[in-house]
Amino acid sequence: MSSKTLAGKLAEVMGEVGYISKGGTNSAQGYKYVMASQVADTIREKLAARGIVIVPGDIVLLSEEKSPSGKQTVLTFKYSWHLIDGDSGQQITICSLGAGADSGDKHVYKATTGALKYALLTTFLIPTGDDPENDASEVIAKAAKEVFKDVVKPVSGGTEKADGDWGF
């Protein structure tokens, strides 16, 4: 059995993972993005080498609405993901939000894929060259406010203590 804690093993993974460049292109909207498979491929072997698995936990539907065109359904979920150390049984749970829009049955899969990708990116502090706050949808921002309520509030200045109004 390993003498390292789960947090210690995760810190090692974090130290090994570097920048992920954008390998996908959305030709319809003309932008590049980091694909979920790139993130999973970057993390999977490093976790497995340390006997760490990641499994989904609770999934909570936060909202279901129609897109502005009315042609797609937009679902927003809160996900929990469990990082479990196979050596010690220690567990850390991380949460993320995911939203998916589709006119058929793919909105759930889109939301899940995005939620896992961003859970891994944020947990392991992986830079991708984007600032998601620049184009975050209002749906995600409202869902974050609902999920986290008064626990986390926006910071209006660089070094101030977090407090203030969400602005909705």
Domain ranges of the chain: 6-148
Which H or E run contains 75?
strand 73-85
Q: What is the DSSP string of 3-24?
A: -S-HHHHHHHHHHH-------E
Measured distance CA(75)–CA(110) in Å, rounded = 9
Topology of the domain comprising 6-148: Enolase-like; domain 1 (3.30.390)
Mean pLDDT, the chain, integer: 83
Query: CA 123 → CA 18, 19, 44, 49, distances in Å?
Result: 13, 14, 14, 18
Measured distance CA(40)–CA(54) in Å, rounded = 11
Summarize pLDDT for 62-71 with one digit per residue, the tens.
Answer: 999 999 999 9
Summarize pLDDT for 69-86 with one digit per residue, the tens.
Answer: 999 999 999 999 999 999
Residue 32 main-chain phi, psi, to 5 deg: -100, 155
Whether 137 and 76 have beta carbons less than 8 Å apart is answered as: no
Summarize pLDDT for 119-153 with one digit per residue, the tens.
Answer: 999 999 998 876 655 554 555 556 666 666 665 55
* pTM beyond 0.95, yes or no: no
